[in-house]
């Protein structure tokens, strides 16, 4: 395979994995709409993906296969975290407010982004095992995958601003937080029940 093909395959494969609606994407979207700590949240998500893709391409997926207990522990911890976050989103859905930019500190969103990334066992399955096995130590494939991750999170975090006028109304936040709650709680229950 030539270099351009490797880059494009890595980019395309990562995009098919990352675009799915999930806890991390919902959180980045919410932060982008609020215009709060967007750069830091996007950086945490993209950097975390870059680390995981690099480790997967380097062959760490084979080690993870030998220690499935690590994924089980991450699944249970991640499921509990998602349930808690889902219930907070449900509470916000019942008590919505209009769009407020830059409220609160930057620490909480960064810690939440870290938790949504590193406590999610699907991240390990996608980046370490799936991408790692497809890449088979082809580093340009990994570069393409990391480029897709950066592109996606920047577009999601900063593109959300275009929806700002819609989310100036509490009703729009109620719908978004209700959807986020449903996704988080469903994922949390699925993770805990599946392991």
> Which residue ranges make up each domain of the chain?
3-194
Q: Between 80 and 60, where is the model more confident?
A: 80
Contact at 8 Å (CB) between 133 and 61? Answer: yes
Single out the residue of 58, 67, 49 nearest to residue 13, CA to CA: 49
For the cut 90, the answer to whether the pLDDT of residue 134 exceeds it is no
Window from 40-44, 102-106, 119-123 with minimum mean pLDDT = 102-106
Tell me what percent of the residues of the chain surpass a pLDDT of 90. Answer: 23
Average pLDDT over residues 179-189: 80
Position 2 scores a pLDDT of 83
Position 101 scores a pLDDT of 47
* Integer angstrom CA distances of residue 177 from 85, 149, 167: 11, 24, 11
3-state DSSP call for residue 91?
helix
Res. 99 pLDDT band, cuts 50 70 90: very low
- The Cα 89–Cα 84 span in angstroms is 9
pTM for this predicted structure = 0.74
Q: How confident is the prediction for the chain on average, in pLDDT? A: 82
């Amino acid at each position: 395979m030539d270099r351009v093909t490797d880059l494009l395959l890595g980019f395309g494969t990562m995009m098919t994995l990352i675009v799915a609606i999930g806890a991390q994407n919902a959180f980045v979207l919410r932060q982008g709409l609020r215009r709060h700590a967007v750069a830091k949240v996007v950086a945490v998500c993209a950097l975390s993906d870059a680390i995981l893709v690099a480790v997967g391409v380097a062959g760490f997926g084979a080690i993870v296969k030998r220690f499935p207990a690590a994924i089980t522990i991450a699944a249970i911890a991640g499921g509990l975290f998602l349930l808690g976050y889902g219930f907070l989103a449900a509470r916000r859905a019942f008590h919505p407010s209009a769009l407020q930019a830059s409220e609160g500190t930057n620490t909480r969103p960064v810690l939440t982004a870290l938790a949504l990334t590193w406590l999610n066992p699907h991240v390990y399955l996608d980046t370490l095992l799936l991408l790692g096995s497809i890449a088979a130590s082809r580093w340009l494939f990994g570069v393409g995958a990391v480029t897709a991750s950066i592109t996606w999170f920047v577009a999601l975090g900063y593109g959300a601003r275009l929806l700002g006028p819609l989310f100036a109304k509490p009703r729009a936040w109620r719908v978004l937080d209700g959807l986020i709650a449903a996704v988080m709680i469903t994922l949390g229950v699925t993770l805990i029940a599946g392991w």
